């Protein structure tokens, strides 16, 4: 049958350059934002840093129209109370340029030969990976967002999963290990993970040996090889000794909360007065005028993007507080079910914007410093029909496991019974799933002599 060519007209949303810039700056933490500003100051001659003596005047003449759009005070947006974190850290040690794992992954996309639409989908996949490096959402939800079918997203997910570290954005441990072994398809290790994963996870080595008809030494070598794979691709790239600098500071203020962006030590920017005067005098040649116009637009967008970042961070943090009144009221064992989409709907922003503003961003609260992602938790319907956040269940389950008799650890059935005692009735397989997600092995592997 001859191939038929058809022209199809479709409408697709494209991000404007200033929106791309806003998204890029929003995903940066405080330290990387400062580095981005310094770099922009070096590259754009129309940008200059506001000197300390001019700072107060600059704040007094801030664009009131922009601020009136949200319920945020000048103090919330530009308070210098938070300069302590940056100033003290700079005294103690230099802050080297750091690229987060997500930034490294996004940077690798340029080598994948993706078109713009595919690159946007790949970035969405990357932004939905959790701290352990696993895909934190169902692939069908990403497909729905782009009005595509699930099988149209799969090839892009396949490519993302082969970035470094290999196995990133996997949907489960078996997929993660299989990807790392796919170049050893005929090896014993690959066969174990691909065909006998359940036996491997439960250490049923005799059964594996019988099925694969291998010697104990061959099995031992294969298991040893698997044990050297990376089960959590995201964690290997974390700097365990990195000082966490909060992006927002939350303090109780009577019956309300005062939210301050922790960027008081970051340079304030303005358009160069020297270039402004040259434009006003209007005696520039056309080429020079075009150059300055382009740099002027770029500088204004950059300043606008930094201000928008502050506004977004404050709005997101305020919404989190409103969704989690119990936790911020002092009950740290309780978090309501909360999804990124809930915040997106509350402040009328895209879910990818909320993901960028919460991933790798930290809040200094009266109860300690927490990543904003910490306050998001899935929901579960208990057998009695009540809806509860999985955070609450996991917290209760963790306390039970930590307080058990390690010489006689509880089986999953026993854990179900203990949870019922504190009011949480659920299926054994659900308890087993949560136990596994928290990194606790089965009872016989928790036993201590």
Phi, psi dihedral angles at 261 (to 5 degrees): -75, 135
Nearest Cα residue to 177 out of 124, 215, 232, 122: 232
Domain co-membership, 44 together with 111: no
What are the DSSP calls for 310-361, one per residue?
Answer: HHHHHHHHHHHHHH-HHHHTT-TT----B-HHHHHHHHT--HHHHHHHHTT-
Please report where in the chains the tokens 């109860």 appear, as a residue.
Answer: 367
Which helix (H) or strand (E) covers residue 27, if one does? none
Nearest Cα residue to 389 out of 337, 427, 354: 337
- What per-residue confidence (pLDDT) applies to 217? 93
- What per-residue confidence (pLDDT) applies to 220? 92
Residue 70 has pLDDT above 60, yes or no: no
Q: How far apart are CA 86 and CA 76, in angstroms?
A: 17
> Containing domain of residue 75, as a range?
17-93+247-371
Residue 68 is assigned to a structural domain of this protein: yes
Domain co-membership, 287 together with 261: yes
CATH code of residue 117: 1.10.10.1330
- What per-residue confidence (pLDDT) applies to 283? 65
Q: With H, G, I as helix, E, B as strand and everything else as coil, classify residue 215.
A: coil
Any idea how long the chain is? 449
Question: How many CB atoms lie under 10 A from the CB of residue 8?
Answer: 4
Residue 164 is assigned to a structural domain of this protein: yes
Q: How far apart are CA 20 and CA 192, in angstroms?
A: 45
Nearest Cα residue to 347 out of 305, 389, 313: 313
Residue 421 has pLDDT above 50, yes or no: yes
Nearest Cα residue to 267 out of 73, 90, 71, 99: 90
Long-range contacts of 292-299 (CB under 8 A, 24+ apart): 292/46, 295/44, 295/45, 295/46, 296/46, 296/271, 298/44, 298/46, 299/44, 299/46, 299/47, 299/269, 299/271
Average pLDDT over residues 304-325: 93
Residue 255 has pLDDT above 70, yes or no: yes
Residue 66 is assigned to a structural domain of this protein: yes
Identify any residues that bridge with 260 across adjacent strands, giving them in sequence order.
Answer: 249
Phi, psi dihedral angles at 170 (to 5 degrees): -70, 155
Domain co-membership, 429 together with 350: no
Q: How far apart are CA 234 and CA 101, in angstroms?
A: 7
Residue 84 has pLDDT above 50, yes or no: no
pTM as predicted: 0.60
C-alpha 31, offset from chain centre: 16
Residue 6 is assigned to a structural domain of this protein: no
Q: Which of 336, 371, 406 is the last residue of a domain?
A: 371
Q: How far apart are CA 226 and CA 344, in angstroms?
A: 41
Residue 8 has pLDDT above 70, yes or no: no
Domain co-membership, 214 together with 277: no
Average pLDDT over residues 384-398: 84
Q: Strand 248-253 and strand 362-365: pairing?
A: parallel
The answer, yes or no, to whether the previous bond of 66 is cis (omega within 30 of 0) is no
Q: How far apart are CA 369 and CA 391, in angstroms?
A: 18
For the chain, how many structural domains are there in total? 3
Question: What is the longest distance spanned by two Cα atoms in the chain?
Answer: 87
- What per-residue confidence (pLDDT) applies to 143? 83
Residue 326 has pLDDT above 90, yes or no: yes
The answer, yes or no, to whether the previous bond of 211 is cis (omega within 30 of 0) is no
Contact criterion met (CB below 8 Å) for 356 and 23: yes
Domain co-membership, 385 together with 364: no
Residue 8 is assigned to a structural domain of this protein: no
Cβ neighbours of residue 280 under 8 Å, at least 6 residues apart? none
Greatest mean pLDDT among 70-74, 111-115, 156-160, 199-203: 156-160
What are the distances in angstroms from CA 227 to CA 179, 201, 432?
15, 11, 22
- What per-residue confidence (pLDDT) applies to 364? 93
- What per-residue confidence (pLDDT) applies to 5? 55
Contact criterion met (CB below 8 Å) for 168 and 234: yes
Lowest-confidence region among 166-170, 251-255, 272-276, 285-289: 285-289
CATH code of residue 396: 1.10.10.60
Domain co-membership, 367 together with 385: no
Residue 9 is assigned to a structural domain of this protein: no
- What per-residue confidence (pLDDT) applies to 83? 39
pLDDT band at 4 (very low <50, low <70, confident <90, very high): low
Long-range contacts of 350-355 (CB under 8 A, 24+ apart): 351/145, 352/23, 352/124, 352/127, 353/23, 353/26, 353/312, 354/316, 355/127, 355/128
Q: What is the DSSP letter of 44?
A: -
Q: Which of 183, 211, 238 is the last residue of a domain?
A: 238
Q: What is the DSSP letter of 133?
A: S
Residue 61 has pLDDT above 80, yes or no: no
Average pLDDT over residues 208-215: 91
Residue 12 is assigned to a structural domain of this protein: no
Domain co-membership, 429 together with 355: no
Domain co-membership, 361 together with 396: no
Domain co-membership, 216 together with 303: no
Q: Which of 221, 238, 255 is the last residue of a domain?
A: 238
C-alpha 227, offset from chain centre: 27
Residue 11 is assigned to a structural domain of this protein: no
Domain co-membership, 361 together with 254: yes
C-alpha 96, offset from chain centre: 21
Domain co-membership, 113 together with 173: yes
Identify any residues that bridge with 256 across adjacent strands, giving them in sequence order.
Answer: 253
Domain co-membership, 79 together with 103: no
Structure tokens, 194: 């691909």
Task: Return the higher-pLDDT residue of 150 and 17.
Answer: 150
């Amino acid at each position: 049958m001859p191939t038929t060519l058809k022209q199809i007209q479709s409408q697709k949303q494209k991000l404007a350059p200033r929106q791309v810039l806003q998204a890029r700056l929003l995903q940066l933490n405080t330290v990387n934002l400062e580095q981005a500003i310094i770099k922009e100051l070096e590259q754009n001659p129309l940008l200059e840093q506001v000197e300390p003596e001019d700072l107060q005047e600059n704040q007094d003449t801030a664009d009131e129209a922009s601020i009136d759009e949200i319920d945020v005070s000048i103090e919330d947006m530009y308070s210098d109370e938070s300069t302590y974190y940056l100033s003290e850290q700079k005294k103690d040690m230099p802050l080297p340029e750091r690229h987060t794992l997500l930034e490294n992954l996004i940077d690798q996309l340029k080598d994948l030969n993706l078109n713009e639409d595919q690159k946007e989908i790949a970035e969405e996949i990357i932004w939905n990976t959790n701290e352990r490096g696993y895909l934190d959402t169902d692939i069908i939800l990403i497909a729905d967002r782009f009005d595509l079918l699930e099988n149209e997203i799969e090839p892009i997910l396949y490519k993302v999963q082969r970035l470094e570290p290999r196995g990133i954005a996997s949907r489960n441990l078996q997929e993660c290990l299989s990807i790392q072994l796919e170049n050893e398809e005929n090896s014993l290790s690959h066969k174990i993970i691909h065909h006998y994963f359940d036996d491997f996870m439960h250490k049923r080595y005799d059964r594996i040996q019988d099925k694969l008809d291998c010697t104990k030494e061959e099995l031992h070598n294969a298991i040893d090889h698997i044990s050297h794979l990376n089960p959590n691709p995201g964690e290997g790239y974390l700097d365990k000794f990195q000082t966490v600098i909060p992006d927002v500071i939350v303090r109780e203020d009577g019956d309300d909360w005062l939210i301050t962006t922790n960027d008081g030590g970051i340079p304030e920017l303005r358009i160069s007065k020297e270039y402004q005067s040259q434009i006003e005098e209007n005696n520039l040649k056309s080429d020079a005028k075009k150059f300055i116009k382009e740099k002027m637009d770029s500088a204004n967008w950059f300043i606008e993007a930094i201000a928008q970042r502050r506004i977004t961070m404050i709005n997101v943090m305020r919404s989190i507080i409103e969704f989690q009144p119990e936790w911020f009221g002092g009950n740290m064992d309780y978090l309501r079910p909360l999804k990124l989409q809930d915040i997106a709907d509350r402040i009328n922003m895209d879910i990818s914007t909320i993901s960028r503003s919460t991933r790798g961003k930290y809040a200094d609260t009266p109860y300690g410093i927490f990543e904003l992602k910490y306050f998001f938790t899935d929901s579960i319907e208990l057998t009695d029909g009540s809806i509860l956040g999985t955070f609450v269940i996991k917290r209760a389950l963790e306390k039970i496991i930590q307080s058990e008799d390690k010489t006689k650890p509880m089986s999953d059935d026993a854990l179900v019974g203990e949870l019922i005692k504190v009011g949480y009735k659920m299926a054994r397989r659900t308890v087993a799933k949560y136990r596994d997600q928290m990194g606790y092995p089965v009872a016989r592997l928790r036993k201590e002599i």
